[in-house]
């Protein structure tokens, strides 16, 4: 019996605007998702029930883990009797605004659809993904995409030419709820036209030209920086080091900077001495199957 291994890539939000609060308590957003080549590795093999092992200390490996929940949801909805053993090699920082857990869940849906021979089509997987989280439908596909509503209404954008970034990983936690509830978060009250605000349409046009830097923005920064002023200082360090633009990803705390090319990204990364930093590039997809290996 062979084990099947997948790379589950991280995302950044090149652009993120927060619109009105919805009746269900969530917020509508406008965002541009972009996959980057920072990844976790997940290995799947037949097992009894569902078990998840992880090399990251302190990460939940039971029903609170999104990959575990994805496997359980798939079993429950399809009635499949097969089980799975999942091994997770964690390289994407946890709770960092990079959709590491969401990507793991999306990868689990795709891997188990194949491993268990379920034959579910993409639209069926997307519906299951949305039950697990707002950005998991995006993580099924990846690349460069516009997201609206809670982020689940997706529209593909032209694939970026290879673009290099640095990602800066602060050693702190930010509560998404605290950011959304902050009095410093001033929501955009502009009314969308044909589903998009004027600002978002301008961003889309820039992305379509392959011009990333003018599109970089995150409305949630004001609230996050009020909670942790050192994040604002870190963003300024990226700009001072030569990044063409910089912003926070998602609700943070990860920051990223746009670079001119690979050598520029590595030079910017070398200039950061306070917090962990990586040079990464854009990716056109979010999940990649690796060569299968026979079990020992």
Q: Which of 11, 17, 90, 235 is catalytic?
A: 11
> For the purposes of burial, counting CB atoms within 10 Å of the CB of 121, is it exposed (0-12), middle (13-18) or buried (19 or more)?
exposed
Placement of tokens 């949801």 in the chain: 73
3-state secondary structure 247-268: EECCCCCCEEEEECCHHHHHHH
Per-residue confidence at 294, pLDDT binned at 50, 70, 90?
very low
Instruction: Return d(Cα 103, Cα 66) in angstroms, integer.
Output: 9
Q: Helix or strand or coil: residue 91? A: coil
Residue 11 is among the residues annotated as catalytic for this protein: yes
What are the structural domains of the chain? 2-155 (3.30.230.10), 158-283 (3.30.70.890)
Tokens, residue 260: 């001119």
Query: Helices H, strands E: what count in the chain?
Result: 9, 13
> For the purposes of burial, counting CB atoms within 10 Å of the CB of 291, is it exposed (0-12), middle (13-18) or buried (19 or more)?
exposed
Q: Which of 17, 135, 235, 240 is catalytic?
A: 135
Residue 135 is among the residues annotated as catalytic for this protein: yes
Q: Write out pLDDT tens, residues 215-251.
A: 999 999 999 999 999 999 999 999 999 999 999 999 9
pTM of the model: 0.94
Tokens, residue 116: 């268990």
């Amino acid at each position: 019996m062979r084990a099947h291994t997948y790379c589950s890539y991280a995302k950044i939000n090149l652009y993120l605007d927060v619109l009105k609060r919805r009746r269900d308590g969530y917020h509508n957003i406008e965002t541009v998702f972009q996959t980057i080549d920072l990844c976790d590795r997940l290995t799947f093999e037949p097992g009894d029930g569902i078990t998840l092992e992880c090399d990251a200390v302190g990460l939940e490996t039971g029903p609170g883990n999104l990959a575990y929940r994805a496997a359980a949801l798939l079993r429950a909805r399809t009635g499949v009797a097969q089980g799975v053993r999942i091994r997770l090699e964690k390289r994407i920082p946890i709770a960092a605004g990079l959709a590491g857990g969401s990507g793991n869940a999306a990868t689990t849906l795709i891997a188990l659809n194949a491993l268990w021979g379920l034959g579910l089509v993409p639209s069926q997987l997307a519906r299951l993904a949305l039950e697990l989280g707002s950005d998991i439908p995006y993580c099924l596909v990846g690349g460069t995409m516009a997201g609206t509503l809670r982020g689940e209404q997706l529209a593909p954008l032209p694939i970026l030419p290879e673009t290099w970034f640095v990602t800066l990983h602060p050693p702190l936690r930010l509560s998404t709820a605290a950011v959304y509830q902050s009095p410093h978060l001033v929501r955009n009250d502009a009314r969308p036209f044909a589903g998009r605000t004027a600002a978002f349409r301008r961003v889309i046009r820039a992305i379509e030209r392959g011009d990333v830097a003018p599109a970089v923005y995150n409305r949630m920064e004001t609230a996050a920086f009020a909670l942790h002023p050192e994040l604002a200082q870190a963003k300024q360090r990226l700009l001072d080091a030569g990044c063409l633009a910089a912003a926070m990803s998602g609700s943070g705390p990860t920051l990223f900077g746009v670079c001119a090319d690979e050598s520029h990204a590595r030079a910017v990364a070398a200039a950061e001495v306070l917090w962990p930093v990586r040079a990464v590039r854009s990716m056109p997809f979010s999940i990649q199957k690796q060569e299968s290996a026979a079990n020992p």
